[in-house]
């Protein structure tokens, strides 16, 4: 089975520009999560989709971040406008059941650099 796919793997953009990250979960996984690791900090939760609905977006840092999940399949995370502090690695994960104690399957991540 294909794993969780994220692209691009790397993105370098200028401050003020817009970037869109994409995540394709494992087929059949209703639950999709976004996390990010900012340099020197912990990996932190951003939000959780169940199918196309946002179950929990309590970790989204501010309104410059917009996540969508079209038709309950792939998800996009848009940052507009990007700021320097948005640099980091953005991870996507999916799971068949919502309980995290079964563990997620993570994607390889997108490394975002804002200059």
Partner 1 sequence: AQRVTQPEKLLSVFKGAPVELKCNYSYSGSPELFWYVQYSRQRLQLLLRHISRESIKGFTADLNKGETSFHLKKPFAQEEDSAMYYCALVYSGAGSYQLTFGKGTKLSVIP
Q: Which residues bind partner 1 (CB under 8 A)?
A: 3-4, 33, 35, 40-45, 48, 55-56, 58-59, 91, 98-101, 103-104, 106-109
CB neighbour burial string for 50-62, b if at least 16 within 10 angstroms, e if fewer? eeeeeeeeeebee
Half-sphere exposure of 57 (CA within 13 A, CB side): 14
Residue 29 gets which letter from DSSP? Answer: -
State the minimum distance, in angstroms, from the CB of residue 19 to partner 1.
Answer: 21
Of 4 and 114, nearer to partner 1 (C-beta) is: 4
39 versus 84: smaller Cβ distance to partner 1: 39
Q: Minimal distance in Å, beta carbon 61 to partner 1?
A: 15
Nearer to partner 1 by C-beta: 45 or 74?
A: 45
At 101 the three-state DSSP class reads helix
């Amino acid at each position: 089975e294909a794993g969780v796919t994220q692209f691009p793997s790397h993105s370098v953009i200028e401050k003020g520009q817009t970037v869109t990250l994409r995540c394709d979960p494992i087929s059949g996984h209703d639950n999709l999560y976004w996390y990010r690791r900012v340099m020197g900090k912990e990996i932190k939760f951003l939000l959780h989709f169940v199918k196309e609905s946002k179950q929990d977006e309590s970790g989204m840092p501010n309104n410059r971040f917009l996540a969508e999940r079209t038709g309950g399949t792939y998800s996009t995370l848009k940052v507009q406008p990007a700021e320097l502090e948005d640099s980091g690695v953005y991870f996507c994960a999916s799971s068949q059941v919502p309980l995290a104690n079964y563990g997620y399957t993570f994607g390889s991540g997108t490394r975002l650099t804002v200059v």
